[in-house]
Chains A and B, each alone.
Chain A
Amino acid sequence: SAVISQKPSRDICQRGTSLTIQCQVDSQVTMMFWYRQQPGQSLTLIATANQGSEATYESGFVIDKFPISRPNLTFSTLTVSNMSPEDSSIYLCSVGDGTTQETQYFGPGTRLLVL
C-alpha cells in the first residue's frame, strides 16, 4: 500500500483566483491520478499524471483549467485555475498498486469552497 498526503486539506477561495493542490506519496509510482468528488456524487477522474510526460485528461477537463505537474515519481500538483463556485468540490489524488493498477490508494482529499 502507499501513504499519500495532500496539501492543503481545505481552502476557501475567491472566484477568479487559482489554487494549487499538492500530492506527496511515500514511494515511487509511475502513475498518479487526480479525481474530483462533488457533494453526493461519484469520483470523476480528471487526469492521469505520468512522470516525464504530459498529463492525460479525461473528457470534459482541459489543461488550461487544470494544469498538472509531475516533477518526480513521488510528487504531483493540480492547479484549479480561474475558479468559479462550480469548482467547489473535493479533489483527491491517488496512485495504483504495482503494475496492474487495479487497486487505488487515495489521499485524504482537498476540500475546496469557491465564493
Chain B
Amino acid sequence: SQKIEQNSEALNIQEGKTATLTCNYTNYSPAYLQWYRQDPGRGPVFLLLIRENEKEKRKERLKVTFDTTLKQSLFHITASQPADSATYLCALGQYSSASKIIFGSGTRLSIRP
C-alpha cells in the first residue's frame, strides 16, 4: 500500500540555522508533491508545490527538492526563526485522481532562540 514517511516526529533547531525536513514515499508515483504548514488548532496551510519534472522550487526562505528516483523530497527553511515553529506536512497527488491527495503524518519543528 502507499506509504509516506516524514523523517521524524519532532525536530529542534537553533534559530538562524537551516532546518531540513525529509519526506519519503513508497508504492506511489506522484505527479506532484506539496508541503503544508499546520499550527496547533488550525488547518494546514499550503506552502509549496513541486511537480515530478521539477528538481527544485524556492519561495523566499523555503526550498523544496524532489527526487523521483530516490522517492524523496527535502524541505529546507533557511535562516530559521522561532515563528517557523509548526508541524510541516508533505502530501502527494496525481492528476488522474485529483481529489486523493495523500498526506504524511508531519514533522513538528521547533526553533529555539
Contact = CB atoms under 8 A, between A and B. Distances in A.
Given A102-B93, A103-B49, A43 B98 contact: no
Nearest to A96: B98
A23 B15 CA distance: 37
* Chain B interface size, under 10 / 10 to 19 / 20 to 34 / 35 or more: 20 to 34
Given A45-B99, A102-B98, 8 more contacts: A4-B43, A40-B9, A42-B89, A42-B103, A58-B100, A92-B43, A104-B46, A106-B44
B42 A42 contact: no
Contacts, number: 55
Please indicate which of the listed interface residues B44, B99, B106 has the most CB atoms of chain A within 10 Å of its own CB: B99
Interface of A: 4, 31, 33, 40-45, 48, 56, 58, 92, 94, 96, 100-109, 111
Interface in B78-105: 89, 93, 95, 98-105
Contacts of B95: 100
Interface centre among B4, B104, B106 (most CB of A within 10 A): B106
Contacts of B43: 4, 92, 94, 106-109
Interface centre among A43, A96, A107, by most chain B C-beta atoms within 10 angstroms, is: A43
Interface string B30-67: 00101000000111111001000000000000000000
B42 A109 contact: yes
A106 B41 CA distance: 12
